[in-house]
A and B are shown apart, each in its own frame.
Chain A
């Protein structure tokens, strides 16, 4: 009864039992740290955002609706993403670079193959993207938001979101290509 386990946990969470919250933290904090780290670079900042997120969860657990397995995780992830965006807005005037000429579009002929690349390496690559690019990229790819939604979330124009996403995508693809080439070079 896998689903029920989650539901039971939620019931205890609703009672604001410390043990239940600790369990929740234990089960999800590592994944949520990853989610948060996609958006926030500073270690201290990640700590702060996660702390705020958990407090928010604690205060708004009543609003959580169970919709099947995984919905708790999705709910928590949403809160962490929202808190991350909030933090980014407050702390680093998100510079959504708009100059088209910063670097030329890199034509990527083939789709990057992700198979042999470890998660940590991909994570590092994502975190190396400029703030604005990274935020849009994360929202689009991982949170599966449309450009329209992203534009509304970040208070930017829709086409700005799209162009930043394309740039971010190109940059990442380029990084993956470089990585593969360096790997190849190592083996040769």
Chain B
């Protein structure tokens, strides 16, 4: 068999045509001519807005770059907006701080454990201290303060209304239920935002708020300043993140790692067993003043990032970050206590924008701002029950709550070029962590605004 028929086949099929896929020309036209318009009719489309221009030029090579920039900007905008909204409903985060200082005074006053119990129970959230008198529900203003406290409580998902009833181990179940039911209507009664409270927290709110617009403005400026002149990649390895402040929380009574007082269930279940270590602790501390201390350790961060220089001054970068947050809980008295160790591991993706301020010899000074999205990937909670300085039981559990944590940061940095393309840098800055709405209690929640110093090495890639 010869291949003649194949030649026939070719000839036969030569002029064959098929229907063009729908919308093909539209797609090609969009891709090729939406930016070509500018070349063809210069001057006609002069006042394109920046967005449009961005979109158009994004089709060419640096499209990925613009996408990253766009995402970064969008994240910042979302943060800003949500922050705004959040601020219009104050009293969730900052009042806590106001209240904390009160807690100590109050503690001094309340030596009677039973009173103490009732008091903090009404608060629902143990570190939001309220004066004893607030318990008087008949007083309208104070009761509304209470309402908002309860509201805050809900926000924090710490609806364990049982509070530290068990500061006194003699507390019986009836008491528990009693107080619990008393607390319920308060929670349900989500009254409109209290004026009082607003005034209280105003001072604290203004601080981060004034910072945010600044940051926002900076990002906006950067968007305008974006130009793609030269390509220069920079690989950066972040090797440390020393936050200057470890945080400590203190509450009267017992508390769990989440910072919330122990729930009824926890004590209920333990009360049924005589040999339960928790019960033993409760019994041993019967007549003692107990308190819970929650200490958040300095976060440890490791990361690798890639920077892309946009022109001489500006640079944008992204990468991957690992952060470990650990906290310690000591709940109980000096010799009889529950000790909890919590470790949460986060993986995050930062987006940073750099602006080179000064360049002198091997030194480069720059300012940086950015956002970071972190997701908790793993967490463990180790609990030790200690009675009379003796470890009775150790339990370890995995934390199933894996929240996503957003944060924004800004800072200034100094970079020293060691050899040709290799440099080290130090970057002190401040960061703000937004509430993640999870029950997990971390340093981010306790101290949303934190100072940190980053150290790292950078590699320039041409």
A residues sitting closer than 8 Å to B (CB atoms) are 16-18, 21-22, 25, 29-31, 33-34, 37, 43-44, 46-47, 50-51, 54-55, 58, 108-114, 119, 122-123, 140-142, 144, 169, 173
In the bound complex, do residue B1 and residue A114 qualify as a contact, i.e. CB atoms below 8 Å apart?
A: no
Distance, CA A16 to CA B29, complexed state (A): 12
In the bound complex, do residue A55 and residue B21 qualify as a contact, i.e. CB atoms below 8 Å apart?
A: no
Considering only CB atoms, which chain B residue lies closest to A119 in the complex?
A: B16
Which of B13, B17, B25 makes the CB contact (< 8 A) with A142?
B13
For B29, list chain A residues within 8 Å (CB): 18, 22
B26-59 near A? 1/0 per residue, CB < 8 Å: 0111011100100110000000000000000000
Given contacts A122-B12, A142-B10, contact A114 B5 (CB under 8 A): yes
Given contacts A17-B40, A21-B32, A51-B24, contact A31 B17 (CB under 8 A): yes
29 contacts between A and B (CB under 8 A): A18-B36, A18-B40, A21-B28, A21-B33, A22-B25, A22-B29, A30-B20, A31-B15, A33-B21, A34-B17, A44-B21, A47-B22, A47-B27, A50-B20, A51-B24, A55-B32, A108-B1, A110-B1, A111-B1, A111-B2, A114-B5, A119-B12, A122-B9, A122-B12, A123-B18, A141-B10, A144-B10, A173-B1, A173-B5
Considering only CB atoms, which chain A residue lies closest to B39 in the complex?
A: A16
Distance, CA A152 to CA B219, complexed state (A): 51
In the bound complex, do residue B36 and residue A16 qualify as a contact, i.e. CB atoms below 8 Å apart?
A: yes
Distance, CA A54 to CA B18, complexed state (A): 17
Which of B12, B25, B32 makes the CB contact (< 8 A) with A58?
B32
In the bound complex, do residue A37 and residue B18 qualify as a contact, i.e. CB atoms below 8 Å apart?
A: yes
A77 to chain B, nearest CB (A): 10
In the bound complex, do residue A25 and residue B25 qualify as a contact, i.e. CB atoms below 8 Å apart?
A: yes
For A169, list chain B residues within 8 Å (CB): 3, 6
Which of B16, B23, B33 makes the CB contact (< 8 A) with A123?
B16
Distance, CA A31 to CA B28, complexed state (A): 17
The 9 closest A-B pairs by CB, nearest first: A30-B17, A47-B21, A34-B18, A33-B18, A111-B5, A119-B16, A29-B20, A54-B28, A18-B33
In the bound complex, do residue A31 and residue B16 qualify as a contact, i.e. CB atoms below 8 Å apart?
A: yes
Considering only CB atoms, which chain A residue lies closest to B33 in the complex?
A: A18
Considering only CB atoms, which chain B residue lies closest to A170 in the complex?
A: B1
In the bound complex, do residue A112 and residue B5 qualify as a contact, i.e. CB atoms below 8 Å apart?
A: yes
For B32, list chain A residues within 8 Å (CB): 18, 21, 54-55, 58
Distance, CA A100 to CA B111, complexed state (A): 92
For A123, list chain B residues within 8 Å (CB): 13, 16, 18
Distance, CA A30 to CA B39, complexed state (A): 29
B101 to chain A, nearest CB (A): 63
Name 9 extra pairs, CB < 8 A, besides A29-B20, A29-B24, A123-B16.
A16-B40, A30-B17, A31-B17, A33-B17, A47-B22, A55-B32, A111-B1, A114-B5, A123-B18
For A50, list chain B residues within 8 Å (CB): 20-21, 24
In the bound complex, do residue A43 and residue B21 qualify as a contact, i.e. CB atoms below 8 Å apart?
A: yes
Considering only CB atoms, which chain B residue lies closest to A172 in the complex?
A: B9
For B31, list chain A residues within 8 Å (CB): 51, 55
In the bound complex, do residue B20 and residue A33 qualify as a contact, i.e. CB atoms below 8 Å apart?
A: yes
Which of B1, B3, B27, B33 makes the CB contact (< 8 A) with A51?
B27
For A44, list chain B residues within 8 Å (CB): 21
In the bound complex, do residue B25 and residue A30 qualify as a contact, i.e. CB atoms below 8 Å apart?
A: no
For B22, list chain A residues within 8 Å (CB): 47
**Chain A CB within 8 A of B274 CB:** no
Distance, CA A112 to CA B24, complexed state (A): 36
Considering only CB atoms, which chain B residue lies closest to A25 in the complex?
A: B25
Which of B12, B23, B39 makes the CB contact (< 8 A) with A114?
B12
Considering only CB atoms, which chain B residue lies closest to A31 in the complex?
A: B17
Distance, CA A22 to CA B36, complexed state (A): 14
For A37, list chain B residues within 8 Å (CB): 18
Interface centre among B6, B8, B22 (most CB of A within 10 A): B6
In the bound complex, do residue B18 and residue A111 qualify as a contact, i.e. CB atoms below 8 Å apart?
A: no
Distance, CA A10 to CA B75, complexed state (A): 46
In the bound complex, do residue A51 and residue B28 qualify as a contact, i.e. CB atoms below 8 Å apart?
A: yes
Distance, CA A34 to CA B19, complexed state (A): 8
Distance, CA A162 to CA B252, complexed state (A): 85
**Chain A CB within 8 A of B4 CB:** yes
For B8, list chain A residues within 8 Å (CB): 114
B141 to chain A, nearest CB (A): 66
For B28, list chain A residues within 8 Å (CB): 21, 25, 51, 54-55
Considering only CB atoms, which chain A residue lies closest to B32 in the complex?
A: A58
Considering only CB atoms, which chain A residue lies closest to B8 in the complex?
A: A114
A17 to chain B, nearest CB (A): 7
B311 to chain A, nearest CB (A): 25
Distance, CA A119 to CA B17, complexed state (A): 9
Distance, CA A50 to CA B17, complexed state (A): 14
Distance, CA A6 to CA B56, complexed state (A): 31
Distance, CA A108 to CA B2, complexed state (A): 10
Distance, CA A140 to CA B22, complexed state (A): 30
Distance, CA A112 to CA B12, complexed state (A): 13
Which of B13, B15, B25, B36 makes the CB contact (< 8 A) with A29?
B25
Considering only CB atoms, which chain B residue lies closest to A123 in the complex?
A: B16
In the bound complex, do residue B6 and residue A141 qualify as a contact, i.e. CB atoms below 8 Å apart?
A: yes
Distance, CA A174 to CA B33, complexed state (A): 47
Distance, CA A141 to CA B3, complexed state (A): 9
